[in-house]
Amino acid sequence: MATTGSDTANGTSAAPFKTIARASRSALPSTTIHVAAGTYPGGFKTTVSGTASGRIYYVSTTKWGAKIVPPANSSNDTAWDNRGNYTDIIGFHVDGTTSQSGTKWTHGIYNGGSYDMIRGNWVHHIAKTVACTSAGGSAIGVDSYYHGIKSDVVGNLVHDIGPAGCRFVQGIYVSTSGTVKNNVVYRVAEGAIHLWHDANNVIITNNTVTASHTGIIVGGGDYYHTTGPNNDTIVANNIVYDNAMGISEQGQTGTRNRYTNNLVFQNSTYNFSLKNGLKHSATVSADPQFVAYTRTGTPDLHLRPTSPAIGKGTATNAPPSDFDGKPRNADTGYDMGAYQH
């Protein structure tokens, strides 16, 4: 599909569709929807499902080249609402900076399906100017409300989310099972990564989170379909730096959650707050030595050659490559954070 396309076309490369929603309605299992670079109005919903052996892929043909922005007259609070199962959303740029008339966005990519992958997207300036209410919001939300389970949030760049001081707006928000890996998240009103509702059995590894209210929240409560608690969650190989609070268990949590090989430093209130007598292990408490860190501009969160995060991660559950696609392996050592040195 392309900005020059037409929703009455046949959806081929020669006669592309114009909107993602229209392309989605024509998709069958084992379909890849290629979205050409350009600017597209958001506020749409996709509902078609793939299968375990025939996923549906939405792919920006140029990474971050397909840009989704608020429409002239917005009627939805979500840039992209996906309810389909076995789908991948890959490489899109969701930019909520310039709201026009109508409903302001409080959600970037919302996922209510199962076995989905949200990978390699850039989501920023979501819910910056909305009122702070308990309705909340997030840049990327993976939700169990519609019985979604086991989805993955991998290699996304998320920043500038929520109005300052609002505890109800999150960066990456997960309320089911799945994984959160290789993401770079900064300047989020509340949790850079936040687990709540029915969240359990979530693997949170190799993320870099900074300049938010709380770095990583592992919690359970306000259950949709389960009785909790959040248990069997693993938090490893993350860098959690310069937040008000570091890694926090909140609400109802179990005794089998594990916290290992994380770098936590300069979180002003605390670095760790765990429940049930749990202890963290192989923790590094030192400046991560980013290439160029800033709280207000665009930070470069790659590691300097002298970073104490280098080689201090665990191979267990580590993704095979980093945010940039650089391999992680035993020869080079497993680094903490989203970037391998």
266: its two tokens: 């300069």
Whether the full predicted model's pTM is greater than 0.85, yes or no, is yes
Residue 197 per-residue DSSP state? B
Q: What is the pLDDT of residue 177?
A: 97
Q: Report the pLDDT averaged over residues 219-246.
A: 98
Cα separation, 59 vs 165, whole angstroms: 35
pLDDT above 90 covers a percentage of the chain that reads 98
Q: How far is CA 18 from the centre of its chain?
A: 27
Q: Please tell me which residue, 247 or 331, carries the higher pLDDT value.
A: 247
* pLDDT per position as a tens digit, 58-89: 999 999 999 999 999 999 999 999 999 999 99
In sequence order, what are the beta bridge partners of 231?
none
- In order of their start, the domains of the chain are 20-303 (2.160.20.10)
* DSSP SS3 for 23: helix
Q: Rounded to a whole number, what is the distance in angstroms from the first to the last CA of the chain?
A: 37
Assess contact for 140 and 104: CB atoms under 8 A: no
Assess contact for 124 and 97: CB atoms under 8 A: yes
pLDDT confidence band for 10 (50 / 70 / 90): very high
Q: Report the pLDDT averaged over residues 148-158.
A: 98
Q: Report the pLDDT averaged over residues 181-207.
A: 98
Sequence-ordered strand ranges (E) for 143-256: 151-154, 157-161, 169-174, 178-181, 184-188, 191-195, 202-205, 208-210, 214-220, 234-236, 239-241, 245-251
DSSP of 245-308: EEEEEEESB-S--EEES-EEE--SSEEEE-STT---BS-B-S---EEE--SSS--EEEEPTT-T
Q: What is the pLDDT of residue 310?
A: 98
Cα separation, 12 vs 22, whole angstroms: 13
pLDDT confidence band for 152 (50 / 70 / 90): very high
pLDDT confidence band for 332 (50 / 70 / 90): confident
Write the CA distances from 154 to 20, 67, 91, 140, 324, integer angstroms.
21, 19, 11, 11, 12
Q: Report the pLDDT averaged over residues 239-248.
A: 98
Q: What is the pLDDT of residue 240?
A: 99
In sequence order, what are the beta bridge partners of 284?
263
For the stretch 228-246, what's the b/e string if a residue is b when 16 or more beta carbons lie within 10 angstroms of its beta carbon?
Answer: bbbbebbbbbbbbbbbebb
Over 90: is that where the pLDDT of 155 sits?
Answer: yes
* pLDDT per position as a tens digit, 264-317: 999 999 999 999 999 999 999 999 999 999 999 999 999 999 999 999 999 999
Q: Report the pLDDT averaged over residues 128-140.
A: 95
For the stretch 283-317, what's the b/e string if a residue is b when 16 or more beta carbons lie within 10 angstroms of its beta carbon?
Answer: bbeebbebeebeeeeebebbbeeebbbbebbbeeb
Q: How many residues does the chain have?
A: 341
* pLDDT per position as a tens digit, 22-34: 999 999 999 999 9
Mean pLDDT of the chain: 97
* pLDDT per position as a tens digit, 38-64: 999 999 999 999 999 999 999 999 999
**Which residue matches tokens 């989704």?**
68
Q: What is the pLDDT of residue 156?
A: 99
Cα separation, 175 vs 154, whole angstroms: 16
